[in-house]
Amino acid sequence: MFIDELDAVGRHRGAGLGGGHDEREQTLNQLLVEMDGFDTDTNVILIAATNRPDVLDKALLRPGRFDRQIVVDVPGVNGREGILKVHSKDIPLADDVDLRVVARSTPGLVGADLANLVNEAALLAARKNKTKVNMEDIEEAKDKVMMGVERRSVILSEEERKVTAFHEAGHALVAYHTAQADPLHKITIIPRGRALGLTAQLPLDDKHNYTRAYIRGRLDILMGGRTAEQVVFKELTTGAGNDLEIATELARRMVVEWGMSEKVGPTTLGKSEQELFLGREIQQHKNISEETARTIDEEIRTIILAAERRAKQILTEHMDQLKLLANALLEHETIHGEDMPRLFAGKTLLRVSSNGRPGSKAKRRNQGTAKKKSAAAGRSKSTSSARSHSKTAAKTKTRRKTSPSSKPAK
């Protein structure tokens, strides 16, 4: 017998909600009675799964009950490659598809994510009337799964696009000049999910332990977008709200969990603050004093301000690269990580139209928008009068004559 999401019925008893007459506690009591181990004539093997083993009732974990625990962790490179092979065995793959490369570039994804990635790649190939799924489709599906769906319907003003371009360029440039930062994967100002822009980094391999230097570099990158807005426009926007939230949480964990604050010291603080509905007691008391809480707040602020100063120093020293990267984002909308050295060397970014990369999409979309506007203007003029219609036709003929792709009129 298999029970999924065991924490739904197996949480700590006595949470203060309903007492022993709570329906959930009655279910747990009956489960414990059935698993008492006194019946020897039944051959029932009970297996359960949960993402929160820390909130399970202690009686469930005693010998004779769920006393054997198997940790199913996030798969590594070999595990991801095997999962990709399983989900792609019935999908025709092109010769250029290397599942080992895909596995290396998808750290942190679990089985359901990888299955979704393969499915999205197959859908993209089917929409393009392809007979096989190639590496281009997998890369596009990977960006959709890891970065969110592109929202092409969101139309930003030119000022918003410029602010977003410098914001993302600030993130990318700080990451580019940070020693222990993860390699840049893609920088885009195309809205994805709820974000107006995105800077994605992919680690070279799976990481299980992080140094203080790496976390400080991560904080510098998070503060790079806000700092770029402040340096270039002398103004702040609400676009850095999520960056500040992540940076604050990361700095707080450095102080109270990981012992990375010299002022607070190697201590773990504030662990007694637990959510009531996760099965903890209704009355909890803080194990820190008001003075210690004030010191923690000061340390968090100090760490974030130091990261902001380091980011500002990098952006100020490389202001020409910041402007170059922002202008490239405004032109191509998406810059890949391998494009940045070429861009800073003064070379032209290559965009191949056949592979559907966002740079070529942006040009085609701008051309399509211009054509739609021209057609709409022609329709509005044609309804006014015959005279305006003839002027529109004359202007159209003039554009056709001066077009470099058309033959000269005889």
Question: What amino acid positions are annotated as catalytic residues?
Answer: 168
Q: Residue 138 in contact with residue 124, Cβ under 8 Å?
A: no
Cβ pair 32, 60 in contact under 8 A: yes
Residues 6+ apart with CB under 8 A from 16: 276, 281, 282, 283
User: CA dihedral in degrees (240, 245, 249, 252; nearest 10)?
Assistant: 80
Question: Which residues does 81 contact at the CB level (< 8 Å), separation at least 6?
Answer: 99, 100, 102, 103
Q: Report how far residue 76's alpha carbon sits from residue 205's, in angstroms, rounded to the nearest whole number.
A: 9
B/e letters for 145-168, b = 16+ CB within 10 Å, e = fewer, are bbbeebeeeeeeeeebbbbbbbbb
| Cα(25)–Cα(31) distance, integer angstroms | 10
Report the 10 Å Cβ neighbour count for 311: 28
Tokens read off for 369: 């928008």
Residues whose CB is less than 8 angstroms from the CB of residue 145 and which lie 6 or more positions away in sequence, other chains included: 109, 113, 116, 117, 120
